[in-house]
């Protein structure tokens, strides 16, 4: 199996590429910059949106794991809408070229405000440009896959903890604050409950999912259980022996954040409990 990983130099891509390589998978890894990508991969610097025939350019991969996305932590950036047709065009060119399977990194922000477990068929009503764009691309990928009779996987991500020197999550911001010598970190009350997954577990789940063909469609990459934001952040600080305290109540909760939301882990548990991978 030859897997093309886009966004391979990013916060998530780095770890996923390494995990795939550790599992003896041939990886073609692409991004604008390629300096943080594992040297065992076939590293190719490219602008995906400018390629006429990406299938041939990337040496006819069997699977694409599309993780490339701009401004992922800036939920109201206009770039989400601007880039959307280009993501679709890139994936369509791969499908037209002959790729056998599409896997795309999604987000729980596609769903919008929701209380409880998010399942494959949970209604989506996104409340940010980021969520709107991801949700639209999901519908497009599903349509493409049906038209060409190929497999597709939509990997719906949640809250990832780890590799915090990169990325822009609250955990990365706390790490940056510690490195700057700060002793306090402004925070909400932290009572909302979310699905947190450790970075290494996330990478393992993604790698196991894209290298099997039995479970497809929308798949939650998640822990499958809720935890209070305050509890997880305090634990993160303790795990890393950071000398910093949270300033509770410095910021209000975002109005579109759910009070308690997590991923239904039925499909990912099925994948992780299966010791065989499909070619």
**Is the same domain home to 207 and 98?**
yes
Nearest to 193 by CA among 226, 171, 225: 226
Give the model's pLDDT for residue 275: 60
How far is the first Cα of the chain from the last one, in angstroms, to the nearest whole number?
A: 6
Quick check: is 205 in a domain? yes
**Is the same domain home to 186 and 131?**
no
Alpha carbon distance 3, 191 (integer Å)? 40
CA dihedral sign, ordered 17, 279, 277, 96: positive
Is the pLDDT confidence value at 208 over 60? yes
185 secondary structure, DSSP code: E
Alpha carbon distance 170, 173 (integer Å)? 5
**Is the same domain home to 202 and 66?**
yes
pLDDT band at 73 (very low <50, low <70, confident <90, very high): confident
Give the model's pLDDT for residue 279: 42
> In which domain, by residue range, is 172 found?
163-193+226-247
Q: List, in sequence order, every residue forming a beta bridge with 63; answer none if it has no partner.
A: 3, 101
**Is the same domain home to 153 and 238?**
no
Active site amino acids: 130
Is the pLDDT confidence value at 165 over 80? no
The answer for residues whose C-beta is within 8 angstroms of residue 33's C-beta and 6 or more apart is 9, 45
At 198-207, the pLDDT tens digits run: 999 999 999 9
**Is the same domain home to 180 and 202?**
no
Average pLDDT over residues 70-97: 96
**Is the same domain home to 60 and 79?**
yes
The reported pTM is: 0.93
Average pLDDT over residues 26-33: 98
Q: Is 98 within 8 Å of 55 (Cβ atoms)?
A: yes
**Is the same domain home to 59 and 180?**
no
The answer for residues whose C-beta is within 8 angstroms of residue 111's C-beta and 6 or more apart is 118, 122, 123, 124, 125, 126, 131, 261
127 secondary structure, DSSP code: -
Average pLDDT over residues 89-93: 98
Cβ count near 64 (within 10 Å): 25
pLDDT band at 256 (very low <50, low <70, confident <90, very high): low
Average pLDDT over residues 217-239: 96
CA dihedral sign, ordered 136, 49, 153, 209: negative
Give the model's pLDDT for residue 278: 44
Q: Is 106 within 8 Å of 100 (Cβ atoms)?
A: no
**On the CB side of 180, how many CA atoms lie within 13 Å of its CA?**
10
**Is the same domain home to 68 and 171?**
no
Quick check: is 68 in a domain? yes
Angle, nearest 10°, between helix axes 11-22 and 199-210? 60
Cβ count near 259 (within 10 Å): 14
């Amino acid at each position: 199996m030859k897997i093309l990983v886009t966004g391979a130099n990013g916060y998530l891509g780095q770890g996923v590429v390494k995990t795939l390589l550790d599992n003896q998978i041939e990886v073609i890894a692409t991004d604008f910059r390629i300096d943080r990508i594992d040297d065992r991969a076939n590293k190719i610097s490219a602008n995906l949106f400018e390629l006429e025939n990406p299938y041939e350019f990337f040496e006819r991969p069997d699977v694409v794991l599309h993780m490339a996305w701009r401004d992922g932590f800036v939920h109201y950036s206009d770039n989400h809408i601007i880039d959307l047709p280009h993501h679709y065009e890139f994936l369509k060119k791969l499908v037209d070229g002959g790729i056998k399977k599409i896997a795309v990194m999604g987000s729980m922000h596609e769903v919008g405000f929701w209380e409880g477990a998010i399942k494959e068929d949970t209604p989506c009503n996104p409340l940010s440009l980021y969520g709107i764009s991801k949700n639209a691309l999901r519908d497009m990928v599903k349509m493409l896959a049906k038209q060409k009779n190929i497999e597709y996987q939509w990997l719906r991500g949640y809250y990832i903890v780890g590799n915090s020197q990169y990325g822009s999550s609250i955990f990365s911001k706390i790490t940056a604050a510690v490195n700057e010598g700060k002793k306090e970190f402004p925070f909400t009350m932290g009572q909302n409950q979310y699905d947190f997954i450790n970075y290494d577990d996330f990478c393992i789940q993604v790698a196991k999912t894209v290298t099997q063909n039995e479970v497809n469609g929308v798949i939650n990459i998640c822990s499958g259980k809720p935890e209070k934001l305050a509890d997880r952040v305090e634990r993160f600080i303790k795990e890393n022996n950071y000398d910093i305290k949270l300033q509770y109540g410095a910021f209000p909760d975002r109005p579109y954040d759910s009070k308690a939301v997590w991923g239904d882990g039925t499909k990912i548990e099925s994948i992780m409990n299966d010791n065989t991978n499909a070619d």
